[in-house]
A and B are shown apart, each in its own frame.
Chain A
Amino acid sequence: MAEVILKNLTKQWGDFVAVDGQSLEVSDKEFLVLLGPSGCGKTTTMRMIAGLEEPTEGEIWIGDRMVNDDLPKDRDVAMVFQNYGLYPHMTIFDNIAYPLRVRGTPGSEIEPRVRKAAEQVELTQFLERRPKALSGGQRQRVALARAIVRTPKVFLMDEPLSNLDAKLRVTMRAELKHLSRELKVTTVYVTHDQIEAMTLADRVAVMKDGVIQQLGSPDEIYNDPANLFVAGFIGSPAMNLINGSIQGGQFVTTGGTQLVPVGGDDRKEVVLGVRADDIRVSEAGQGNIDVPIYAFENTGEATLLTVQWGRQRVIAKGDRYLRKEQDDMIGIALNPEHLYLFDPNTGSRIRT
């Protein structure tokens, strides 16, 4: 059990900066998710914590020890790899037992501990098989069992669910969450899937270009994005970002439509962010503005209406029983409580 502290951590390959002077503190027993698009440096950050990558600059602390010069084997971390990294020539039992064996655990202890770990991930009937004979989800469980068979200071998980099919991913996500709450071990989890991040994390660090854009609870990340990138990255469908200006406390779109009161000083260029859920859909004439439907999608649990608004398209979420056709006119109204303003040049949030 330990906290993980990164101090000004940088990783460069030649001119390419993968991680740029990042500092981060993961508290003891916390589940922290590094979230970002591919190439944002999240996996590199994790690999540096594991010791598989050497930082160019900065310090890594696990517990009260600086581990920069420790080999992976001496850092007392357990890692789950994206492709599982199972040993194909060993049985499942031997795969799970390997971390115990190489660390010199007495032979009599190995069997019960492997069985317990296998039980926790519901794998007991496969112990004599080889990884090749298992399905993707089962292999994933083996990788998990191998990580939890001993009690490391830190769990590191590198996109552990990304190779599973969509349905299995949802099941495994719940199991993972259950397991992590049960084990209470400091965990750093890397993913590009925002749903995984939202559902699993105590705190999320959203990364882009090697820099953490925002660090906060899933609620904060979703409801109070720090900048344009976080706003556009979190949420499905993505937040609508509408270009315009502020004139006399009103947001006016680039096309000149006066839309919604936002307050604040006049600004020539501004981006208005609004989530699909915060756009109320009504019959034509009953909203702030009437717009034609560009596409109507029924997902079963809700309806998604993409509307053509001047030159921009905006997506709104409607009632699950709403039925409309393409090119129908509807009225939309933006919820003034949940609007976000950003500076289009710097991307930073404008708070009024």
Chain B
Amino acid sequence: MRDNTLKYLLVLPAIVVVFATAIWPLIESLRLSFTVGRLSRPGSLEQYLGFENYIWAFLYEPAFWNSVWVTTVYTVLTVGLTTVLALGLALLLAPGGRFRSGVQTLLILPFAMSPALIGVSFRFMFNPEFGLFDAVFGVLIPPLADVSWLVDPVLAFAVCVMADVWGWIPFLTLVLIGGLASVPQDTIEAAQVDGASGWRVFRDVTLPQLAPVLAVVVILKSIFSLKTFDQIFMLTNGGPGTATQTLSHYIYFNGMKYGQIGYAASVAWLMVIPMIFLTYAYAKFVFRKE
């Protein structure tokens, strides 16, 4: 057998797997997004509508716009809070920071939990009758004793954000600790001797050199926030009402619960647009040339 043929034969299994699990579902979902696609109506998966599903989402579905809004606010809040808190923690935990490495190992625990498990745990903790938060707040801040956290739209949303931030901080902290370790100690010490205060050393020297890693962190977290599903599904199931219904949850509901596969596919493809944008930015930062 020629080397050339062998070379292609060796990568063939990988190509087949990628095609079957990624490329084909993508193409198929794109096709479905142009069909009537109702699970309850046989044959409707081949009934083409053109762009009607997309138009429907844009013009006649307030629930779609609601989930776009929820997803946007959710993403901005979780990305912002997680990044800032993780950066703070990383500065404390980095070599030369104030805390030592024993704490780092403990911190990874939340990340080791599955998002669905985090969702369930937080639902229990915020239970108004026997939840941990209820008990703690009841003692510390009596007016908050009997607040039904997951019943109020704003509070339920806040709990979702909190659970997500809690779950993601460790991983991003670890990434940022790695980033901080690659900032040359020399430059920081040079700035100290040059006369910079602690804050100016951070602003003028540490932060600019950390910027590429920070960008990767923000982009990655944005991607994960945009597609959040399991945690919300377990924690609030999109409720109360649609107060915490993210796009993924909206797609799931329309596709799996209402059986409108064609419509769900079209909304899913609308979500692909910002994803492609972010993935491109991510690739650009990660594979950037020196």
Contact = CB atoms under 8 A, between A and B. Distances in A.
Interface stretch (A82-90, A185-193, A333-341, A342-350): A82-90
B197 interface: yes
Most B CB contacts (10 A, CB to CB) among A50, A78, A98, A156 go to: A98
Interface string B190-212: 11111111001000110011010
Contacts of A83: 184, 186
B196 A81 contact: no
A130 B204 CA distance: 15
Contact of B187 (A50, A71, A88): A88
A86 B204 CA distance: 12
B129 interface: no
Contact of A98 (B186, B204, B209): B204
A106 to B, nearest CB: 15
B209 A73 contact: no
Given A52-B189, A79-B190, A83-B186, A103 B209 contact: no
Contact of A78 (B193, B196, B205): B193
Given A87-B205, A88-B209, A98 B191 contact: yes
A78 to B, nearest CB: 7
B169 to A, nearest CB: 27
Q: Determine chain B's interface SS by DSSP, over half rule.
A: helix
A73 B196 contact: yes
A143 to B, nearest CB: 8
Contacts of B211: 89
Given A89-B208, A89-B209, A102-B200, A81 B190 contact: yes
Contacts of A99: 194-195
Given A89-B208, A98-B204, A102-B200, A79 B193 contact: yes
Contact of A81 (B186, B195, B204): B186
Given A98-B204, A102-B200, A72 B184 contact: no
A77 interface: yes
Contact of A84 (B186, B191, B195): B186
A75 to B, nearest CB: 8
Interface in A225-252: none
Interface in A60-82: 71-73, 75, 77-79, 81-82
B190 A85 contact: yes
A75 B196 CA distance: 12
A71 to B, nearest CB: 7
B184 to A, nearest CB: 7
A72 B187 contact: no
B193 A102 contact: no
A49 to B, nearest CB: 10
A72 B193 contact: yes
A169 B171 CA distance: 45
A102 B195 contact: yes
Most B CB contacts (10 A, CB to CB) among A77, A79, A85, A99 go to: A85
A208 interface: no
A327 B77 CA distance: 83
B193 A77 contact: yes
A146 interface: yes
B282 to A, nearest CB: 21
A89 B207 CA distance: 10
Given A98-B204, A102-B200, A86 B195 contact: no
A77 to B, nearest CB: 6
Nearest to A79: B193
Nearest to B192: A72
Contacts of B205: 87
Nearest to B194: A99
Given A52-B192, A72-B192, A98-B191, A85 B186 contact: yes
A102 B197 CA distance: 8
A58 B69 CA distance: 63
Contact of B195 (A73, A85, A87, A156): A73
Nearest to B211: A89
Contacts of A103: 195
Contacts of A87: 187, 190-191, 204-205, 208
Contacts of A89: 208-209, 211
Given A87-B205, A89-B208, A73 B193 contact: yes
Interface in B143-171: none
Contact of A50 (B186, B193, B208): B193
B64 to A, nearest CB: 43
Contacts of B190: 79, 81, 85-87, 146
Contacts of B194: 73, 78, 98-99, 102, 146
A86 B205 CA distance: 10
The 4 closest A-B pairs by CB, nearest first: A85-B190, A85-B186, A99-B194, A72-B192
Interface of A: 50-52, 71-73, 75, 77-79, 81-89, 98-99, 102-103, 146, 156
9 contacts: A72-B193, A79-B193, A85-B187, A85-B189, A85-B190, A87-B187, A88-B187, A89-B211, A146-B194
Interface of B: 184, 186-187, 189-197, 200, 204-205, 208-209, 211
Given A72-B189, A72-B193, A78-B193, 11 more contacts: A51-B192, A73-B192, A73-B194, A84-B186, A85-B186, A85-B190, A88-B209, A89-B208, A102-B191, A102-B194, A146-B190
